Structure 1
Amino acid sequence: MTAGTFRACAAAALVLALGACSGGADGTGPAANDGRGPITFATGKDLTRTIQKLADDWNRARPGERVRIVELPEDGDRARQQLVQNMRIESDAYDVVRLDAVWTAEFAAHRWIVPLPDGLAGTGTFVPASLETGKYRGRLYAAPWLTGTGVLYYRTDLLEKAGFDAPPATWTQMREQCAEVRKLPEGEKVDCYAGQYGKYEGLTVNYAEAVQSAGGEVFDASGRPAVDTPQAKAGLRFLAESFEDGTIPEKAVTFMEEDGRRAFQEGTLVFHRNWAYVYALASDGSSEVDGRFDVAPIPGKDGPGSGTLGGNNLAVSAYSDHQATARDFVAHIVSPEIQRRYGRAQSFPLSLAALYDDPAMIERYPYLPVMKESLRNAKPRPVAVRYNEVSTAIQDHVTAAITGEKTVDRAAADLQKALTALTD
């Protein structure tokens, strides 16, 4: 991925602008500093080892300001917990932290991260929705890095043999196509569809997508919960009925991203909802479906669905003693040159808008036009300081619905009550 019109001088200006940061939120809390020296970068699991390679290059160029990579747990909830525990004790263990886009409000409100200058994205080349996820109360606290939304991976070979020349745009079409695939000798032991339904943040995302794809919303424009509307209940009903009728296999109730990815790559799923990182891994030659899959927007109730805006942003810890180096490292990672290199090595969609129209990147990752289309329809998760509690409530009541512990109507009513209590 490359920002074709983003000039090299922007990267230099970015470094200078980052150096001008000051103070915590509302002028209180730990102040930014100009300390330099070795830093640690707390990030997610480096599946492709690309981040380590970028760090190695940085370290060769800056031996006095080496960066050490610390991998957080694969489970997003556990990763957040580890970061929060370090911030609460004002630990200087992490200098640069990779935040799920939805954590920005919480970390900024607690003044665990220092604000970044608006000039960081002054070029306007970042994906607008991605840029917004790094803001809290109008200030930029985290530099947009990875972005994206859920897409539908599908088996082109099985659909073709079943007589279909296009992936499904609706839930009904998906079920119909699965039924025809299962009539094939190759489809007898293949499950239909799976996303992420374990009791963690992935379930919150998949639930939100189902609600949005049925024309509903988890929170309305005023920030009030709206999960007991007919549209929202239609989304939850799709999930519950899909488990009940076998569209989603029973075992998927514990699936996280990697569980579903492995199932799809092993050839045991026709359709799979996941993030763009799967594309490179499913195409690496070791996958059973290499050369036999493609991507499309996720299906919805009456047409193409609406994904949840995901992504990771980079922030500087308020407790870092080497914030100047940390700011330089953030600037380095989100710069066009490094995003281009990172994009060539793996298939996470990145934050610069021009990357989605770059011919060389589209040739390498043909999914990019689909991602660009899907991003236009994607919606962010709620911006809430108590977001973790909101997500936990969603997980509790959606799990009750998909396991049959509660009816859809009861689960929706109980969730509406719980979310109202958290947002009043």
Structure 2
Amino acid sequence: MSVSMVLLASACGSDDGGGGSGSDSTALEGRGPITFATGKDTSGNLKNQVDAWNAEHPDEKVEVKELPESADQQRAQMIQNAQSKSDAYSVLNLDVVWTAEFAANRWVVELPPDQFPDLDKLIPATVDTGKYRDKLYAVPVTSDGGLLYYRKDLLDKAGAQPPKTWDEMTAACLKVQALPEAKGMSCYAGQFEKYEGLTVNFSEAVNSAGGVVVGEDGKPNVDTPEALAGLTQLVNGFKSKAIPSAAITYKEEEGRRAFQEGKLLFHRNWPYVYALAGKTDGSSKIAGKFAVAPLPGKDGPGVSTLGGHNYAISAFTKNKATAADFIKFMSSEERQKANVEKTSQAPTWAALYEDADLQKQFPYLAPLKASIDSAKSRPKVVKYGDVSTAIQEAAYNALTMKSEPKKALTDLQTKLSSLITQ
């Protein structure tokens, strides 16, 4: 993971995106009730976690402010709140790629590392996502690595192995689709709607072909043969119908539902899907029939985009001391283990991946840890929203055949160069 991706051209006091002028003080003072701004809880377990805090802190209760399911809409609402200097949100549940933007605009406060003594027990790559210019602004509570979910029952019947390369995945699809019970199934889907998930899937395709979106020098580098190979792989998937046409509208949940309904042989998604797809209450048609593997790549195992969520303290909230304690509570080993057990979301505590009970319950932990360890971050730039939007536009135009892949990447290189040098 390259720290050099951080855009140093913008000063920490930038009003990029209409930033506020909140305090950057590390003095975390003020106690009392707080609010927690977070995306829609698709896991169903957040209430249990917050209830555990509220039971122990009756005078400092947390109220959940649930934002939309879409990451882009979450970010927009958080920014709008910060620009108005509102104290409506106390703790923010940030996507790992938002740290630089929120820190540079002083929408969140710097966190004193000595108040978070367990940071060295977390996966180092996750801690890095909470830093901007080597200072801590957010604490990682969940991580994420992309996984390849697949129908183990059908691969076994067809005599196929979990694929390590894109060609192997295509070959396995052909074998399985020849089975009577696989009639009408599509080969593969990820997240291809024009939103943050498309940035992730595009980045993984490029990285898995040996390319980069932004290089170690902090400069964009997408007009390359490697990036072209990655984007072309996705485009050809839509052209050949290996990726169903409906997948152009898929975000995480649409894809998950399609996989659970038995419409997909392979599906790229995050760890949270494991618990939901394995439910035996009738909501999943594939419970007990699927497994997970690392993402495939061009010539071998692919590269995941590093995901996850970090908790940060709004610069405009009054009760920052309570907010800090709530973050410590939610990021603790005990709370993270309880969350894994209920949701299958990836923890940031390294030791939990070695927990015998969890390994028995969640066989995906080994490939997930490998996915996170080898994952690459999205560009850590202050203008991340604009950068991500440009990536989404270019990739979407190519996937919908509005632009040839080569031209889409050439145009994207030009656009990113203007955004990342400003």
- The alignment-based identity, stated in percent, is 50
Q: Secondary structure of the equivalent of 2:173?
A: helix
In the alignment, is residue 226 of structure 1 matched against residue 221 of structure 2? yes
Aligned to 1:17: none
Is 2:131 the counterpart of 1:132? no
In the alignment, what sits opposite 1:310?
307
Matches of 2:28 and 2:125 in 1, distance apart? 29
Moved more, 44-53 or 340-349: 44-53
Alpha-carbon distance between aligned partners in 2 of 1:315 and 1:35, rounded to the nearest angstrom: 16
Structure-1 separation of matches of 2:170 and 2:325: 50
Q: Output the amino acid matched with 2:202.
A: Y
Match of 2:285 in 1: 288
Deviation of 1:47 after TM superposition, in Å, equals 2.1
The answer to whether the Cα contact below 8 Å between 2:22 and 2:316 also exists between their aligned partners in 1 is no
Structure 1 residues 25 and 135: CA distance shift in structure 2, 3 A: farther
Q: CA deviation at 1:175?
A: 0.7
Contact 1:400/1:406 (8 A) holds in 2: yes
Task: Report 1:165-314 matches (<5 A).
Answer: 166-285=161-280, 286=282, 287-314=284-311
User: How high is the TM-score relative to the length of structure 2?
Assistant: 0.92
1:52 paired residue number: 47
Amino acid of the structure 2 residue aligned with 1:85: Q
Aligned with 1:217: secondary structure?
coil
Give the secondary-structure state (helix, strand or coil) at the position aligned to 1:382.
Answer: coil
Q: Deviations over 1:188-246 (max 9, x none)?
A: 11111000000000000000000000000001110111101101110011011111111
Stretches of structure 2 lacking an aligned partner (at least 5 in a row): 1-11, 15-20
In the TM superposition, what is the alpha-carbon distance from 1:376 to its structure 2 partner? 2.2
* Residue 46 of structure 1: how far off its partner (Å): 1.6
Secondary structure of the residue that 1:70 maps to in structure 2?
Answer: strand
Deviation of the 1:25 alpha carbon: 7.5
Three-state SS of the structure 2 residue aligned to 1:124 is helix
Distance 1:126 1:33, change over 3 A: closer
- 8 Å Cα contact 2:109-2:315 kept in structure 1: yes
Does residue 416 (structure 1) correspond to residue 413 (structure 2)? The answer is: yes
CA contact (8 A) 1:35 1:325 kept: yes
Q: Distance in 2 between matches of 1:258 and 1:284?
A: 15
**Distance in 1 between residues matched to 2:346 and 2:140, nearest whole Å:** 11
State how far apart, in whole Å, the 2-side matches of 1:45 and 1:381 are: 23
- Write out per-residue CA displacement over residues 9-28 of structure 1, whole angstroms, 9 at most, x where no aligned residue: xxxxxxxxxxxxxxx989x8
Mean CA deviation greater in 390-399 or 49-58: 49-58
Which residue, 359, 364, 368 being the options, matches 1:362? 359
* TM-superposition CA deviations, 1:95-124 (whole Å, max 9, x none): 011000000000000001011122325552
1:325-344 matched pairs, under 5 angstroms: 325-344=322-341
Q: Report Cα offsets for 1:388-408 as digits up to 9, x if no partner.
A: 000000011111111111111
**1:146-191 CA deviation, whole Å, 9 max, x = no partner?**
1121000000011111111x20010011111111111111111111
Shift of 1:48: 2.9
Q: Tell me the equivalent position of 1:102.
A: 97
1:375 aligns with 2:372: yes
- Please, what is the CA RMSD of the aligned residues? 1.4
What pairs up with 1:152-171 in 2 under 5 angstroms? Answer: 152-164=148-160, 166-171=161-166
Query: Runs (4+) of structure 1 moved beyond 6 Å?
Result: none
Of 143, 146, 162, the match for 1:147: 143
8 Å Cα contact 2:177/2:183 also seen in 1: yes
Give the counterpart letter for 1:398 in structure 2.
Answer: A
Post-superposition shift, 1:89? Answer: 0.1
1:401 aligns with 2:401: no
Q: Distance in 2 between matches of 1:317 and 1:279?
A: 32
What SS does structure 2 have at the residue aligned with 1:196? coil
Q: Which residue of 2 aligns with 1:351?
A: 348
Residues 1:123 and 1:145: Cα distance change in structure 2 (over 3 Å): closer
* Aligned mates of 2:333, 2:205 — CA distance in 1: 34
What is the count of residue pairs matched by the alignment?
A: 399
The residue type equivalent to 1:77 in the other structure is: D
* Distance in 2 of aligned mates of 1:200 and 1:116: 30
Q: Given the alignment of the two structures, is residue 391 of structure 1 paired with residue 376 of structure 2, yes or no?
A: no
Amino acid paired to 2:84: I
2:5: which partner in 1?
none
Q: What is the CA–CA distance in structure 2 between the aligned matches of 1:382 and 1:43, rounded to whole Å?
A: 22
Contact 2:43/2:272 (CA < 8 Å) preserved in 1? no
